[in-house]
Structures are given as C-alpha cells and as structure tokens.
C-alpha cells in the first residue's frame, strides 16, 4: 500500500489526470450504454445498433496511427484539454435528436468522438511517465486501468437509466458535463512540456509521412517492440472473437438469459477493480515484463477454464467466479504491458508508437469479430473461444521467455517532434 499511497497522495498532477480520466470515462460509458439502448428502442434494429460499434471502431483503425504523430508534436496536457472541450462541443447536436429522423446525426457524432479519442489516449499514456517516478509507473498504470473498470460499472448502470428518463438530450448533457469537469481538473495540472522551436519546412506532408512511418518502424524494427506488437495483434484477434461470441456462449453453452449475461460481464469489471488495487499496491515490487507475462498466462488459463467447464458441468456459478478471478491477472497485463511500452520508447516518439499500437490492435479486433462471426457456426463457439485463451497463454509464455529483452532500454532513432502546442 506504500506505493499506492505515494502515487495518489504525493503526486498531485497525476492525481488530477487520473480523476479527470475517471470522470470523462464514466461519461463515455453513460453515453455508450445509453445510445445503444436508445437507438435500439427507436429502430428495433440490431443492424442500427451494430452501426454504432462500426462508427466507433473505424477511426481507431484509420486515424489512430496518424494521430500519434501529432501527439508527439503537441504539448500532451494541452492536447487533452482541447480534446475534452471539443468532445463537449461535438455532443451539443444530440440535444436536438428526438426521434428516428435524427439517427444519422448520432452516427456522425459517435464517429467524431471516436476521432477525437485517437488523440486523447496516446497523449494520456505519453504524459503519465512525466508525472510519476520511473519505479511508480506500474502503480500509475494499474490505477488508470482500474478507473476504466470503475467507470464501466457506474457509467453502464447510469446510461440505461438516463436513456429511459431523458433520452439522447439528457445523455448528451451529462456526458458533456463530465468532459467540462475533466477539463477543469486538467487545467490544474502544473506539468508543462519543454518548449520546442517549430521547424519551418516546406515539405510538411513529407515530414508528416516520415514521422508516421517512423512510429511504425519503431513498432516492428526492434526485437522488444516486435514482441509487444505481435502480442497486441494475437490477443486483439482473440478479444474480437470474445466480444462476438461471449453472448452466444452464455446463452447456448451456459443456458443463461440476458440478465445472467449482464451480471457475468459486470463480474469481470468487479474483478478488474480488485485486480487494479492489488496491481497498484504491489506491482512496483516486480519487473514489469515478468508481471505482464505471468498475468497473461494466468489470464489465458482462467479463460480456458471458463470456456471449457460447460463440457463437464452445467451451471452459471463457475462463470461468475472465473470472471471475477480473471480481473486480477487482467489488471496486471494492462498495467505492466503499458509500463513496458513507456519504458521502451523515448518521449519524442511515444505518442506515435502508442497510436500505431492502438490502431493495429483495433484492426486485429475487427479481424477477430469478422472471423468469429463467420466461423462460429461452422467450427463451434467453444473451439473459437479456446483459441482466444490459448493466444493469451502462448503470448504470456513468450513475454516471460524474453522478459530480459523487454526490460532493456533500447536506443531509438525517432524523428524529433516538429513542434509542441495544438495548431499544427
């Protein structure tokens, strides 16, 4: 608990960034859950609901890698503030959506918000190493992971209630308010990036392309980063398959109804909160790469137990227990892997590397979604989900085997940022 106390109490700037993230993430879950409920209520179409998922995923794949280049050029704190303000402004048209005729506007706004988010996530992950001591990174990243689980629990519950109470206008108003409150907290952050002179070159497009390629090169050019990159691709495909087939798994293999499905999914968030606390409290005592590898192996083994137990036992109780249990290693995987990436990259290239990794993982998730949809009925639900568990287990074993390599600090030849400050 000493490490947890040191980060939360003694690191004021980090505490403000963490609080701002928790508040805005809660608003995101409120909007995401409420829109899914409200759009289906208006249309009665699962295709219309699926369109929301597509609108939120496309920018991650198309824009994520390029957004990281701009994050490296700009001051990260200021980028987060500007993005939050733009989020609040973009939500305003939702106040006028009352019926199905305005549904097109919902998709445009979800698309716009997802575009903005591609700038926020790399900026946040690139800023964290400046706000805590190097040995506190695992603790800080574990707390960031935990805030997402807390936001998911609170926001998902509120989203359905608010959608039923006030529809899209109320959802938009509440989400916009969370962004404004988060902005107020970020304004209190004292950390400032060192001023960098703007390069005045005629080849702006060529420079942008060079920096974008540089981020991709870093992801695949060194042995350590290749491990990170491939792990994200393999597990991303598995997560896409999981998101597609988990509801059919609960229904067909476990015999659960929609209520059981909701409770089982919520159980993972509960486990994630507990796991995040444990990771924050003790994670700094272990090497990040070993923590990541061990967490991934345990995560995969618990998933395999979850997916295979219906073959020998009928009942929902083990599903609840296993979904809570998987939260602990899941928290270690997120916190430790993020720490490894932050340590493997220098500040000048961190944003573009995170952007490239997020984009690649998003593409892998889409591949997993499509593959699971096509193969689920042919191969079967359990065999596809077993592949997901095996992917995490195998990936974790590789990370453990190469942990010494992942703990080294390589020399990166990243292109220097063109400037800092929004407006490039």
Residue-wise pLDDT for 57-110, tens only, equals: 788 877 877 888 888 888 889 999 999 999 999 999 888 877 777 778 888 888
Task: Specify the pLDDT at position 423.
Answer: 36
Task: Specify the pLDDT at position 46.
Answer: 57
Task: Specify the pLDDT at position 294.
Answer: 94
Assign 365 a pLDDT band (cuts: 50, 70, 90): confident
10 Å CB burial of residue 329 (0-12, 13-18, 19+) is buried
The alpha-helical segments, DSSP class H, found in 1-132 are 2-10, 12-43, 46-73, 76-90, 103-131
Is 50 exceeded by the pLDDT of residue 420? Answer: no
Is 90 exceeded by the pLDDT of residue 200? Answer: no
- C-alpha span between 354 and 19 (Å, rounded): 22
Q: What's the pTM?
A: 0.76
Is 90 exceeded by the pLDDT of residue 398? Answer: yes
SS3 34: helix
% of the chain surpassing 70 pLDDT: 88
Task: Specify the pLDDT at position 182.
Answer: 94
Task: Specify the pLDDT at position 47.
Answer: 63
Task: Determine which of 336-345, 355-364, 407-416 has the lowest per-residue pLDDT on average.
Answer: 407-416
Task: Specify the pLDDT at position 258.
Answer: 65
Q: What is the pLDDT of residues 167-183, one digit of tens each?
A: 788 888 999 999 999 99
Task: Specify the pLDDT at position 346.
Answer: 82
Is 50 exceeded by the pLDDT of residue 415? Answer: no
- C-alpha span between 372 and 202 (Å, rounded): 47
CA distances from 380 to 251, 299, 308 (A): 14, 22, 12
- C-alpha span between 370 and 375 (Å, rounded): 9
Q: What is the pLDDT of residues 142-156, one digit of tens each?
A: 888 888 888 888 887
Q: Which two tokens stand for residue 300?
A: 């995969």
Task: Specify the pLDDT at position 1.
Answer: 60
Length of the chain as a residue count: 424
Task: Specify the pLDDT at position 194.
Answer: 54
Assign 249 a pLDDT band (cuts: 50, 70, 90): confident
- C-alpha span between 272 and 144 (Å, rounded): 11
Q: Which two tokens stand for residue 50?
A: 């699926």
DSSP collapsed to 3 states, 361-407: HHHHHHHHHHHHHHHHHHHCHHHHHHHHHHHHHHHHHHHHHCHHHHC
The alpha-helical segments, DSSP class H, found in 188-222 are 204-221
Task: Specify the pLDDT at position 201.
Answer: 43
Assign 349 a pLDDT band (cuts: 50, 70, 90): confident
């Amino acid at each position: 608990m000493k490490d947890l106390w040191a980060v939360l109490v003694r690191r004021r700037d980090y505490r403000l960034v963490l609080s701002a993230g928790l508040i805005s993430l809660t608003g995101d879950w409120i909007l995401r859950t409420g829109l899914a409920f409200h759009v289906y209520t208006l249309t009665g179409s699962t295709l219309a609901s699926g369109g929301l998922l597509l609108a939120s995923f496309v920018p991650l794949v198309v824009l994520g890698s390029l957004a990281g280049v701009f994050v490296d050029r700009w001051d990260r704190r200021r980028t987060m503030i500007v993005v939050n303000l733009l989020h609040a402004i973009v939500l305003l048209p939702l106040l006028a959506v009352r019926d199905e005729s305005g549904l097109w506007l919902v998709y445009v706004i979800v698309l716009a918000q997802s575009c903005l988010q591609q700038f926020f996530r790399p900026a946040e992950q690139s800023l964290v190493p400046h706000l805590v001591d190097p040995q506190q990174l695992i603790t800080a990243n574990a707390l960031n992971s935990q805030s997402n689980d807390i936001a998911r629990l609170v926001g998902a519950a509120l989203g359905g209630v608010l959608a039923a109470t006030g529809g899209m206008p109320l959802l938009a108003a509440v989400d916009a308010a969370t962004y404004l409150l988060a902005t107020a907290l970020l304004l209190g952050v004292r950390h400032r990036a060192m001023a960098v002179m703007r390069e005045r070159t005629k080849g702006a497009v060529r420079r942008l392309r060079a920096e974008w390629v540089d981020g991709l090169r870093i992801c695949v050019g060194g042995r350590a980063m290749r491990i990170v990159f491939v792990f994200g691709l393999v597990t991303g495909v598995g997560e896409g398959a999981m998101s597609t087939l988990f509801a059919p798994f609960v229904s067909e293999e476990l015999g659960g109804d929609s209520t059981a499905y909701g409770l089982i999914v919520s159980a993972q968030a509960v486990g994630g909160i507990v796991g995040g606390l444990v990771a924050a409290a003790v994670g700094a005592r272990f090497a990040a790469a070993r923590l990541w590898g061990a967490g991934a192996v345990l995560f995969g083994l618990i998933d395999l137990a979850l997916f295979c137990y219906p073959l020998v036992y009928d009942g929902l109780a083990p599903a609840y227990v296993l979904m809570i249990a998987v939260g602990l290693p899941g928290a270690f995987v997120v916190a430790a892997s993020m720490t490894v990436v932050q340590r493997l990259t220098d500040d000048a290239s961190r944003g573009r590397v995170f952007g490239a990794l997020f984009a690649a993982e998003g593409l892998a998730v889409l591949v997993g979604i499509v593959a699971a949809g096509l193969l689920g009925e042919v191969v079967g639900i359990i065999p596809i989900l077993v592949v997901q568990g095996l992917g995490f287990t195998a990936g974790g074993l590789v990370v453990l085997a190469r942990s010494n390599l992942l703990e080294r600090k390589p020399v990166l030849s990243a292109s220097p940022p063109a400037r800092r400050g929004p407006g490039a």
